[in-house]
Chains A and B, each alone.
Chain A
Amino acid sequence: MVKLEDRRVVLYLSDEGRRVLRQTGINVLDTGGFSFDVQETSDLGLWVHIDYEDGQHLILIRWNYILAIDVDGGEIRTERLVH
């Protein structure tokens, strides 16, 4: 099962989701995705980090505003142990 905690994701939001995000003070363009660091997932939506002037805030983006999620999986690192 995919777990999104502590991952950087790109969210593609509905028009209503973009409008709501603008209300939080985030500069949201009309097209394209938005990159966020996920703190936690819940039944309601994704808790993401937002940097404001006074420090970091957490914002809940509800699932019903999210149309698609692009997850940056990261690189594969291999290490061989010799015994």
Chain B
Amino acid sequence: MEIIIDGWRAGGEERREAASAPVWQLPTLTEEQKAVAKKMGISEEDYARSAYAGRRNQERLIEKTKRFAAILESQPRLKEPGARIDRIRLLTIEHEYRIEIYVEGKKVLFRVAEEMVDDFMEKGFADVGQRIEQNLETVLAVQGVSSKHGQA
């Protein structure tokens, strides 16, 4: 399975970490990034701190996505023989997960709002977890993958 974090964000926690990081910990900027820093009207160090915060944020998003992947993989439909998750991509700018699943030889695209994942995994809203499961069943049915009871 492939996990892709497309882009980055930086919340208060990452910004604070970046602000206090020693200069030697900051990423070295490419010439392109230096040009962008100039265009953005910020110093190269500020840009490097922003990139540092973004990478820290991506590490957290990777861990969150791994936990979400494990939950998805535990769904009965995805434990059936031949079923697998190929790719989970988080579009950070849209706050949306796009999940590529193979079931019964068919590729199915399943989309989940990141907010639903947070509500379920971080706030413990069990009903949201059930909605994600129901949405998966609906998407599989609509895209022509028979249900576990043999219905399309």
**A, B: real partners:** yes
Q: Does A6 contact B (CB under 8 A)?
A: yes
Q: How far is the CB of B34 from chain A (nearest CB, A)?
A: 14
For B9, the chain A residues whose CB sits under 8 A away are: 5-7, 74
A10 to B46, CA, bound (A): 14
For A33, the chain B residues whose CB sits under 8 A away are: 39-41
Known: A37-B15, A71-B93, A79-B62. A10 touches B40 (CB 8 A): yes
Known: A1-B94, A72-B50, A83-B1. A77 touches B58 (CB 8 A): yes
Q: Does A2 contact B (CB under 8 A)?
A: yes
Q: Does A75 contact B (CB under 8 A)?
A: yes
Q: How large is the interface on A (under 10, 10 to 19, 20 to 34, 35 or more residues)?
A: 20 to 34
For B94, the chain A residues whose CB sits under 8 A away are: 1-3
For B55, the chain A residues whose CB sits under 8 A away are: 75, 77
Q: How many A-B pairs with Cβ below 8 Å? A: 80
Contact of B41 among A1, A32, A75 (CB under 8 A): A32
Q: Does A35 contact B (CB under 8 A)?
A: yes
Q: Does A73 contact B (CB under 8 A)?
A: yes
Q: How far is the CB of B33 from chain A (nearest CB, A)?
A: 10
Residue interface bits B1-19, CB-to-A below 8 A is 1, else 0: 1111111111100010000
Which B residues are closer than 8 A to A by beta carbons? Answer: 1-11, 15, 36, 39-42, 46, 50-51, 54-55, 57-58, 62, 66, 69, 92-95
Which A residues are closer than 8 A to B by beta carbons? Answer: 1-3, 5-8, 10, 29, 32-35, 37, 49, 70-81, 83
